[in-house]
Amino acid sequence: MSGSTPEGAIAALLAALPTEFLSRIATFIDGIRECAICPALVWLIGPASSGQDGLSCFTGPIVVPLAHYGEYIMRQADGATADA
């Protein structure tokens, strides 16, 4: 995978993490998925804390459990239709 694709970028970010940490994340994500909730890996990127131009800092991955897959989307669609 190339770093120029979304999959390649994610693989590059995860490659820097220790194997033990990746295993814990995978177990955590599987637990979220078993609850029929969509897990998302989020990285936060911003200006470098040094204030130096051209540099960035980031933290992640942060695992965010999103709403139930289909149920949430259908409720949102029903609400949008009722509001129209």
Q: What is the pLDDT of residues 69-83, one digit of tens each?
A: 556 666 777 776 555
- pLDDT tens digits for 23-69? 888 888 888 888 877 788 888 888 888 988 888 888 888 888 776 65
pLDDT of residue 4: 66
CA 19 to each of CA 36, 52, 56: distance values in angstroms, whole numbers, following the listed order = 26, 32, 25
Within 10 Å of residue 31's Cβ, how many Cβ atoms? 13
Which band of pLDDT confidence, cut at 50, 70 and 90, is reported for residue 1? very low
67: left (phi over 0), alpha (psi -120 to 50) or beta: beta
CA 22 – CA 28 distance, rounded (Å): 10
pLDDT digits (tens, 9 = 90+) for 58-68: 888 888 877 66
Gyration radius from the chain CA atoms: 17
